[in-house]
Structure 1
Amino acid sequence: MAQVLEFKLPDLGEGLTEAEIVRWLVQVGDVVAVDQPVVEVETAKAMVEVPCPYGGVVTARFGEEGTELPVGAPLITVAVGAPASGGPAEGSGNVLVGYGTSEAPARRRRVRPAQSPPAARVTAAAPAAAAPVPAAPAASVTAGGPVPVISPLVRRLAREGGLDLRELKGSGPDGLILRVDVENALRAAVAAPEPSPAPASAPVPSAFTGGQRVPLKGVRGAVADKLSRSRREIPDATCWVDADATELMRARAAMNAAGGPKISLLALLARICTAALARFPELNSTVDLQAREIVRFDQVHLGFAAQTERGLVVPVVRDAHARDAEGLTAEFARLTDVARDGRLTPAELTGGTFTLNNYGVFGVDGSTPIINHPEAAMLGVGRIVPKPWVHEGELAVRQVVQLSLTFDHRVCDGGTAGGFLRYVADCVEQPAVLLRTL
């Protein structure tokens, strides 16, 4: 006898609590194998295909493409054959990197209503192949207690729209407030007629009206949260210097003319960064606020800013200090291609210890970048352009670049930061300086 099992959106890891359904990979009635991807979702980190730990026939799907689901929400139900022991069926237990197929932690689990809410789309197979999905009753509301809401996403939607949930009447079981209830209330507020002129003493409404609202979600929302946290927690400072990059450009041209894989300018700058961090390890660190300690890292996991259609992401090159220019070039190219395809894994987006930001590709000379929390520093590189420069006592046209270092003033003082930046500039101006560390 077949047993119907419910597969829920797994724990996403890295503090992620929600995902948006991008594309369903299976239909109701399809036969799926263990660990077969069934849906493609987009998180604040990347897009990922979620595998189902059960094998059998898909009997229902939950959620339209384009809707957001919290961790622990049902994705699909699968009719599987009864196990030989008569006990409950077991999944594969396999996990994606950062995306476990196990259930979400208890603190993230939400109470499901006795029936599927109208806002969720449930596509079911024929009654003979389907079975009811067990569900717990919705939480009842008590005077002065919390307002029953279907998910944290709905609560956030109401907060961003300036709605008081206690003034809404939920259409779900036992008055549960659904997403459709909040959306209808927001639409009604926008469509409401303009009020009659108020006396001069009337308060000015705090909510913005009109214009276009773009949700801060996905990659853009994650970037906003991280940058805001960086500004709140890190007392940063920036120093900068102009450097003559003519010799570095000549060295790169000579390398590429000698044959073999082409060396990218970013790889050479990364090699300079790792050499500088070996001399100034204070900048390859983070601050543990709870322990009130500075944690210095032995390895350099180098992040680099990459612009994609989905927004700015910062892939991480693991053990950059142990890679040569060819290896760095290849890894930068691989991660950039994966980032543009939206296929970076959480492991490729986290764990950085220092970030290199080549904003010169956007045609700008300088910037004061925001540190990629929880790191302690970021090196910015502007465009390399011909400029008048005094070279060997004579005025000449040279290839000049502006370098900027934004650093956490808790991990070091200006002397250390200035020493790091000056060493980087010296290597840019005289690449032979790097021979000391090769």
Structure 2
Amino acid sequence: MPQVMEFKLPDLGEGLTEAEIVRWLVAVGDVVEVDQPVVEVETAKAMVEVPCPYGGVVTARFGEEGTELPVGAPLITVAVGAGSEPEPAAVAESSGSGNVLVGYGTDHSRPARRKRVARPAAMAAAAVAAPVAAVAAVAAPAPAAPAQASGPVPVISPLVRKLARDNGVDLRALRGSGPEGLILRADVEAALRAPAPAAQAAVTPVAAPEGATRIPLKGLRGAVAEKLSRSRREIPEATCWVDADATELMAARAAMNAAAGPKISVLALLARICTAALARYPELNSTVDLAANEIVRLPSVHLGFAAQTERGLVVPVVRDAQSRSPESLSAEFGRLTELARTGKLAPADLTGGTFTLNNYGVFGVDGSTPIINHPEAAMLGVGRIVDKPWVHEGQLAVRKVVQLSLTFDHRVCDGGAAGGFLRYVADCVESPAVLLRSL
């Protein structure tokens, strides 16, 4: 007799509490193997495929494409032990990879298959004969329960509890939308957006002219909006900028690439200059702990770089950038950019940054005053490198000029440190030999 196993949306990690179903990779009646991807979901961090830890016949799916589900909500049910190919339930639980965290991969001993497999007649009959009561019970999720009146309040993660505490939200007054009344990040954020009771009657939807299009602010775009808004609320930022003659830097890059070996990008050279500058001005590689009222200087430079994709702006992170060579940095930028372009970045690729390099020059603009990538303390902006008239060695000449800007959290340093950092970066751009002194 087959056993119906319920597979729920797993813990997404990185503080993520919900995901949107983008595309189902299996249908009811399909045969799936252990660790086969069954659904593609979009979180606030990335688009990823979710593997199922059970092998057998899919007996039910929960949620249409476009539906948002909280962590712990049912995704599919699988009848295991219905034939010789699928993994029995006991075996699936004991020897299956169990690696169902979104974005962290699974055991690749079996190749993932997207192709839908025609269900054998015997298996289909077994699936139909599976206990209807079990499937029906899964198909009707329990209604959300209100938060407990006493004792600990059920909250999805400590990050959500901290978000509520930092913003003065009473968790006991919230009704959780997660399984069994679990309070999700979305519940706290909804409470923050809600107007005061006395003013609710005056709130009306935004009037839109006929033909206007409404686009839901959710997924990656919603996460970006929330993060940028929080940055503006919390960080007293300031920006300074300088024009630099990049002629010598471009000549140095051309000389490097003329030699044998992988090509080195301009971004990689700027990243190497950044890490050298941060070694001199470590206050810019820090974050502010509001709860402890402390500035936390960080030991490693995890360098984020802004990348525009079809899904919106993402900031992949190069780990331990301070210990990488320009060649290594160039390779890692290329790898992460390709993952971003194909929508395959994992949550781990998009979190943990300590400083961001924003090359907005690729859009053909000279300058910008970007918003700091919360909870970081600074961002270096790089405009386009373009031929301009420039006084060089006392003579007017055409040189390759770039505008550099530094947006920084004024809580972690003053203008002297920020200006010193930016001036050092500009000096290295104008004369790459300056960088050799710190290598």
Compute the TM-score of the two structures, normalised by the length of structure 2: 0.78
In the alignment, structure 2 segments of 5+ residues that lack a partner are 106-124, 147-172, 196-200
Q: How far did 1:405 drift? A: 0.3
| Aligned counterparts of 2:176 and 2:372: Cα–Cα separation in 1 | 39
- Residue 10 (structure 1) aligns with: 10
Q: Which amino acid aligns with 1:63?
A: G
Distance 1:3 1:304, change over 3 A: same
Aligned to 1:339: 340
Q: Which amino acid aligns with 1:22?
A: V
Query: Which secondary structure state, in structure 1, belongs to the residue aligned with residue 221 of structure 2?
Result: helix
Letter in 1 for 2:324: R
In the alignment, which residue of structure 2 is the partner of 1:50? Answer: 50
Shift in CA distance, 339/92, structure 1 to aligned 2, threshold 3 Å: same
Q: Which residue number corresponds to residue 160 of structure 2?
A: none
The Cα of 1:219 is off from its aligned counterpart by: 1.1
Residue 204 of structure 1 deviates from its aligned partner by 8.0
Deviations along 1:185-238, one digit per CA (max 9) or x if unpaired, are: xxxxxxxxxxxxxxxxxx987321233211111111111011111111111111
CA 1:97–1:413 in 2, change beyond 3 Å: closer, same or farther?
Answer: farther
Match of 1:206 among 204, 207, 227: 204
Shift in Å, 1:259: 2.8
Deviations 1:217-270 (A, max 9, x none): 111111101111111111111111111111111111111122321110000000
Give, as a single letter, the amino acid of the residue that structure 2 aligns with 1:383. Answer: R
Aligned partner letter, 2:403: Q
Does structure 2 retain, via aligned residues, the 8 Å contact 1:11–1:71? yes
Query: TM-score scaled by structure 1?
Result: 0.78
Moved more, 336-345 or 154-163: 154-163
Q: Alpha-carbon deviation of 1:407?
A: 0.6
**8 Å Cα contact 1:12/1:71 also seen in 2:** yes
Structure 2 residue matching 1:437: 3-state secondary structure: coil
Distance 1:296 1:147, change over 3 A: closer
Q: CA deviation at 1:85?
A: 11
Give the structure 2 partner of residue 178 of structure 1.
Answer: none
- Does the 8 Å CA contact 2:81/2:89 hold for their aligned counterparts? no
Alignment partner, residue 96 of structure 2: 92
How far apart, in 1, do the equivalents of 2:88 and 2:175 lie?
45
- Identify the residue that residue 328 of structure 2 maps to in structure 1: 327
- Per the alignment, do residues 130 and 22 of structure 1 end up closer, same or farther by CA in structure 2, a change over 3 Å counting? farther
Q: Following the alignment from structure 2 to structure 1, what is the Cα–Cα distance between the partners of residues 214 and 233?
A: 25
Q: Which has the larger radius of gyration?
A: 1
The aligned counterpart of 1:74 is 74
Distance in 2, Cα, partners of 1:85 & 1:247: 65
Mapped partners of 2:191, 2:280: distance in 1: 48
SS at match of 1:380: strand
Quick one: distance in 2 between partners of 1:426 and 1:160?
Answer: 45
Range moving further from structure 2, 317-326 or 89-98: 89-98
After superposing on structure 2, the runs of 4+ consecutive aligned residues of structure 1 that deviate more than 6 Å are 82-88, 145-163
Contact 2:53/2:100 (<8 A) preserved: no
Counterpart of 2:393 in structure 1: which amino acid? E
Identity %: 75
- 8 Å Cα contact 1:162-1:207 kept in structure 2: no
Aligned-residue Cα RMSD (Å) equals: 3.4
What per-residue deviation string (whole Å, max 9, x for no partner) do you get for residues 342-372 of structure 1? 0000111011111000000001111111111
Select the structure that is richer in helix.
Answer: 2
In the TM superposition, residue 146 of structure 1 has moved relative to its aligned partner by 7.5
Residue 387 of structure 1 and its aligned partner are, at CA, apart by: 1.2
Partner of 1:230: 231
1:409 and 1:158 map into 2 onto residues whose CA distance is 30
Q: In structure 2, what is the Cα distance between the partners aligned to 1:150 and 1:407?
A: 38
Unmatched 5+ stretches in structure 1: 102-123, 164-202
Partner of 2:153: none
Aligned partners of 1:15 and 1:321: how far apart in 2? 27
Structure 1 residue 97: Cα displacement = 5.5
Paired with 2:90 and 2:434, the residues of 1 have a C-alpha distance of 71
Query: Is the 8 Å Cα contact of residues 48 and 102 (structure 2) preserved in structure 1?
Result: no
SS of the aligned residue for 1:251 comes to helix
Matched residue of 2:272: which SS? helix
Structure 1 pair 80–149 and aligned structure 2 pair: CA distance change class (3 A): same
In the alignment, is the contact (CA less than 8 A) between 1:368 and 1:404 conserved in 2? Answer: yes
CA distance in 1, matches of 2:41, 2:299: 35
CA contact (8 A) 1:70 1:153 kept: no
